[in-house]
């Protein structure tokens, strides 16, 4: 925000539009927080009323994956690190907490502490190895680590194998359909914390170095700074926030699923980031919400009787949500290289 101007030594307040820009995230957060108290019907947009359990579950998923996309954007959009192993840390948070509670019969306090420890130690160790290389080599190393983690999860009896692992001891605050509203608030709180921490980190001194590394790593080295250490810091912070989101994902779904360990999960986060606008202020968040909403609603539409009654040329593509999402992604990348967040620039030019 621009600093107040001065006239004859006196300060002149900033224009109202700058005040609005400063406070609109807080207003948006408050509006999202009161959604469960709203009975507004939204036919065709959500599975029920705005405050129905089905709608709140869908909105919570959108908020959670928006948080995941913001953590990935810290790597890809702000530091220039293309990782194919981000799903590993989401799975680490989910499975660590679940195994500790369900299999080892720990309380939630020790389980959360164990998940936090894994969320710090695992990326510090793996990142120290993966960040020895750059570019596509780094992406391949992270993919290899993620594949190893996926194989271990799907083959181990402790994690439930390919069937996943249901959460045995759900906290009373989040148990049952009546407490879906609490899960919604939990997902909203997670997104808010992630956005605040990522914005603070990006605007700090290390954040400026991350941006410089993404632009010209050699220049950063010439200035006497260590790109390796700064990239490792970004990697660990992003992974830790993703691990925390894995715990939220566990509570939201009531268990851990092996699907969150696959590389397809990370590719989905990459698509969300590019769709919204990598490296922009709110692009990854918007992309995460839009992609998750379409993924959930198009899946429901694909199995509906409306689609089944359409002619084959329309029925076949509409029955494949991945096809529609892929086509949308191609259109956005082709016509909006800056993602959804780039629309504001095009509007100003017009």
Q: Where are the beta strands (DSSP E) in the chain?
A: 5-7, 10-12, 165-166, 255-256
Block residue for tokens 């939630």? 108
In a domain, 157, yes or no: yes
Rounded to two decimals, the pTM is: 0.88
Q: For residue 338, is it within any domain?
A: no
User: Is 277 part of a structural domain of the chain?
Assistant: no
Residue 137 lies in a domain: yes
CB-based burial of residue 72 (10 Å sphere; 0-12 exposed, 13-18 middle, 19+ buried)?
buried
Domain-embedded: residue 341: no
Q: How many domains does the chain have?
A: 1
Q: pLDDT per position in the chain (350 positions), as tens?
A: 445 544 444 555 555 555 556 778 888 888 889 888 888 777 777 877 788 888 899 999 999 999 999 999 999 998 889 999 999 999 999 999 999 999 999 999 999 999 999 999 999 999 999 999 988 999 999 999 999 999 999 998 899 888 889 998 888 889 888 889 999 999 999 999 999 999 999 999 988 988 888 777 888 888 888 889 999 999 999 999 999 999 999 999 999 999 999 988 999 999 999 999 888 888 899 999 999 998 888 777 766 666 666 777 777 777 777 777 888 888 888 887 778 887 766 555 55
Residue 273 lies in a domain: no
pLDDT at 37: 87
Query: Dihedral of CA 95/98/100/102: which sign?
Result: negative
Structural domain contains residue 115:
yes
DSSP codes joined into one string, 98-126: HIIIIIS---HHHHHHHHHHHHHHHHHHH
Owning domain of residue 200: 53-262
Burial letters for 121-152: b for 16+ Cβ neighbours within 10 Å, e otherwise?
Answer: ebbeebbeebbeeeeeebbebbbebbbebbee
* 15 lies in some domain: no
């Amino acid at each position: 925000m621009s600093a107040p101007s001065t006239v004859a030594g006196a300060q002149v307040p900033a224009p109202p539009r700058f005040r609005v820009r400063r406070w609109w995230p807080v207003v948006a957060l408050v509006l999202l927080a009161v959604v469960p108290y709203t009975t507004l019907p939204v036919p065709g947009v959500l599975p029920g009323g705005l405050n129905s359990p089905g709608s709140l579950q869908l909105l919570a998923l959108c908020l959670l994956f928006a948080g995941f996309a913001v953590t990935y954007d810290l790597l890809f959009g702000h530091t220039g690190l293309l990782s194919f192993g981000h799903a590993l840390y989401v799975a680490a948070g989910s499975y660590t907490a679940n195994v500790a509670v369900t299999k080892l019969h720990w309380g939630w306090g020790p389980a959360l502490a164990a998940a936090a420890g894994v969320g710090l130690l695992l990326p510090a160790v793996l990142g120290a190895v993966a960040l020895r290389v750059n570019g596509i080599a780094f992406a391949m190393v992270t993919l290899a680590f993620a594949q190893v983690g996926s194989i271990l999860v799907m083959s181990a009896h402790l994690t439930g194998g390919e069937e996943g692992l249901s959460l045995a001891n759900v906290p009373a605050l989040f148990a049952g359909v009546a407490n879906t509203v609490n899960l919604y608030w939990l997902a909203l709180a997670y997104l808010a914390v992630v956005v605040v921490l990522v914005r603070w980190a990006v605007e700090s001194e290390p954040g400026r170095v991350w941006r410089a590394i993404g632009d010209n790593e050699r220049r950063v080295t010439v200035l006497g700074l260590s790109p390796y250490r700064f990239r490792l810091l970004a990697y660990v912070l992003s992974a830790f926030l993703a691990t925390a989101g894995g715990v939220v994902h566990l509570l939201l779904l009531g268990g851990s699923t092996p699907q969150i360990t696959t590389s397809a999960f990370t590719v989905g986060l990459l698509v969300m980031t590019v769709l919204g606008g990598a490296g922009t202020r709110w692009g990854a968040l918007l992309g995460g919400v839009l992609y998750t909403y379409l993924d959930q609603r198009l899946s429901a539409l694909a199995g509906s009787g409306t689609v089944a009654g359409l002619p084959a040329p329309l029925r076949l593509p509409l029955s494949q949500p991945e096809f529609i999402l892929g086509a949308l992604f191609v259109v956005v990348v082709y016509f909006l290289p800056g993602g959804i967040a780039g629309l504001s620039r095009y509007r100003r030019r017009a």
